[in-house]
Chains A and B, each alone.
Chain A
C-alpha cells in the first residue's frame, strides 16, 4: 500500500498530503488535515454531511478518493466563515435556529451556498429538491429551508 503524494488547493491555500488509495477524501480532510468541519454521517453518499466543493461542483467527499484530489480545487466549510466573520447563510441559520445537534449543518451550508451561487432566487421547491441529499435528524427541515430562502432574499437586496 504505497502512499501517493497529492497536491491540492484547499480553501484557497495550496496543500499537499500523502494518501493511500483506500482513503476517502473525507478521511484525508478529517484525519490528516484536521479539517473536521465536514462530517461523516453515513459514508455511502446518502446523508450529505460530508458535502464539499470539488472544482466548483458539490459532491460527497465520502465518495471521492483522496488520490482523486490531485491537482484539484477543494472548498470546505472551514473556508466559508468563522465566528467573527460569518457567511450570511451562517448568520441566518443562527437567527432561524436552523440547527440543533449541528452534525448536518456544515454539509447543508456548503450545499445551500452552491445553490445560491447558481440560483440567487430559488423557489421553496427548488431549495427542497436541491437539499434532498442532505439529511437532518433534528430540525424537520422547515427552519433550514426558511433560513436559505431568507438569506437569498437578503443577498439579492444587498
Chain B
C-alpha cells in the first residue's frame, strides 16, 4: 500500500485513477475496512492537505463545508449550528467523541451506507456537492450521489471537495431524528431529515423530507409540492406526511428492526422531526 497526501486536487484525481486507489478523510470507515481486510487498497490518498477541504466558510449564498472537515469542528461552529441545527445535530450523532474528531461529511456520504446519519439531513437541506474531476470541478445535488449500499455515482478519479449548504433565510427550520436500539454508538434503524420554510401567513413555502435506513439509498419524499406547499401545517397535513413516509419505505429485515417496525417508526419520526423543524421556523 502506498500513501500520498497531495496538496493539489489535480494531483489527487490523477492518483485516484490508479488501480485499487481510495481517498482517505477521517478514516473511521476506511481504516476499519482496511483492518478487517474487507478492503485492500494499493493506494491511499489522504485528502486533508488539499486547500479548503477542512474549511467552514460563510459565503454569499450560504455555507461551504469542506468534505473532510471533522464533525466536531462543524458542531462547534456557533453560527452554522444556529442556521442549520438539524444538519449539525445529525453530524453530531455520528459515533463517539473520538469518532467526531475525525469523521467527515464527505466520508459519511461516500461510504454510501443507507443508514448514514448526516445524509438525510443534508439532502433535506438541499445541499450541493462540489466534485473534483479530471477536468476541474462539477456540481451535483447530494441526493444524486448514493446509488445503493457502498456504491456512489462518482466516476473513476472523482472525489468530493466540499458541500454548499444554502442560506437558511426567513422563517425556516430543519431537524434530524434517528432511532437506535441504544442511546449512543449504534446504527440508525430509521433516520429522518426535514427542512422547511413558512410564508408570512405561516403556510408552508418549501418542504423537503428525506428518510434514511428504510431503503437501499436515502429516499427524498416525492410530491410534497402538491400536497404541502401553500398549506397550513395542520394535523391533517402531518398525517399526510406520515402516510407518504410509510409508503416510501422498502426496508430490510434485520436484528435492528423488522420491515413493519421500520415502516411504522419512519412515520413516527417523520411526524416528530416535522414538528421540531416547524417550531424552529415559527420561532423566527
Given contacts A44-B35, A44-B36, A133-B185, contact A4 B3 (CB under 8 A): yes
Q: Is chain A's interface secondary structure helix, strand, loop, or mixed overall? A: mixed
Q: When the two chains form their complex, are residues A65 and B96 in contact, meaning their CB atoms are under 8 A apart?
A: no
Residues of B within 8 A of A4 (CB): 3
CA A136 to CA B91, docked complex, whole Å: 25
Q: What is the minimal beta-carbon distance from B176 to any residue of chain A, in angstroms?
A: 17
Within 8 A of A (CB), among B153-173: none
When each residue 89-118 of chain A gets 1 if its CB lies under 8 Å from chain B and 0 otherwise, what string results? 000000000000000000000010011000
Segment touching A, from B97-105, B123-131, B195-203, B248-256: B97-105
Chain A interface size band reads: 20 to 34
Q: When the two chains form their complex, are residues B35 and A43 in contact, meaning their CB atoms are under 8 A apart?
A: yes
Interface residue from B1, B28, B70 paired with A57 (Cβ < 8 Å): B70
Q: When the two chains form their complex, are residues A133 and B96 in contact, meaning their CB atoms are under 8 A apart?
A: yes
Cβ-based interface call for A64 (8 A): yes
Given contacts A44-B36, A63-B27, contact A58 B101 (CB under 8 A): yes
Q: When the two chains form their complex, are residues B97 and A45 in contact, meaning their CB atoms are under 8 A apart?
A: no
When each residue 45-56 of chain B gets 1 if its CB lies under 8 Å from chain A and 0 otherwise, what string results? 010100000000
Cβ-based interface call for B277 (8 A): no
Cβ-based interface call for B72 (8 A): yes
When each residue 68-96 of chain A gets 1 if its CB lies under 8 Å from chain B and 0 otherwise, what string results? 10100000000000000000000000000
Cβ-based interface call for B190 (8 A): no
CA A134 to CA B2, docked complex, whole Å: 31
Q: What is the minimal beta-carbon distance from B47 to any residue of chain A, in angstroms?
A: 11
Q: What is the minimal beta-carbon distance from B259 to any residue of chain A, in angstroms?
A: 28
Q: What is the minimal beta-carbon distance from B116 to any residue of chain A, in angstroms?
A: 15
Closest residue of B by beta carbon distance from A129: B184
How many CB-defined contacts (below 8 Å) exist between A and B? 84
CA A67 to CA B3, docked complex, whole Å: 8
Cβ-based interface call for B257 (8 A): no
Which interface residue of B28, B98, B184 has the most chain A CB atoms within 10 A? B98
Q: What is the minimal beta-carbon distance from A117 to any residue of chain B, in angstroms?
A: 13
Given contacts A45-B95, A63-B32, A130-B97, contact A21 B185 (CB under 8 A): no
Residues of B within 8 A of A44 (CB): 32, 35-36
CA A134 to CA B96, docked complex, whole Å: 8
Cβ-based interface call for B109 (8 A): no
Cβ-based interface call for A13 (8 A): no
Which interface residue of B3, B26, B96, B99 has the most chain A CB atoms within 10 A? B96
Residues of A within 8 A of B96 (CB): 45, 48, 132-134
Q: When the two chains form their complex, are residues B3 and A60 in contact, meaning their CB atoms are under 8 A apart?
A: no
Residues of B within 8 A of A43 (CB): 35
Within 8 A of B (CB), among A131-157: 131-134
Interface residue from B5, B31, B95 paired with A24 (Cβ < 8 Å): B31
Cβ-based interface call for B266 (8 A): no
Residues of A within 8 A of B98 (CB): 45, 48, 51, 58-60, 111, 133
Residues of B within 8 A of A67 (CB): 3, 5
Q: What is the minimal beta-carbon distance from B55 to any residue of chain A, in angstroms?
A: 15
Closest residue of B by beta carbon distance from A20: B1
Residues of B within 8 A of A54 (CB): 101
Residues of B within 8 A of A46 (CB): 185
When each residue 237-272 of chain B gets 1 if its CB lies under 8 Å from chain A and 0 otherwise, what string results? 000000000000000000000000000000000000
Q: Would you list 13 pairs from A and B whose C-beta atoms are within 8 A, ordered by A residue?
A: A21-B1, A43-B35, A44-B36, A45-B96, A51-B98, A63-B27, A64-B31, A67-B5, A111-B97, A114-B97, A131-B97, A132-B184, A133-B97
Chain A residues at the B interface, C-beta cutoff of 8 Å: 1, 4, 21-22, 24, 43-46, 48, 51, 54, 57-60, 62-65, 67-68, 70, 111, 114-115, 129-134
Please name 6 further chain A to chain B contacts, defined as beta carbons within 8 Å, in addition to the given A45-B28, A51-B98, A60-B99, sorted by A numbering: A1-B1, A63-B27, A63-B102, A65-B24, A65-B31, A133-B97
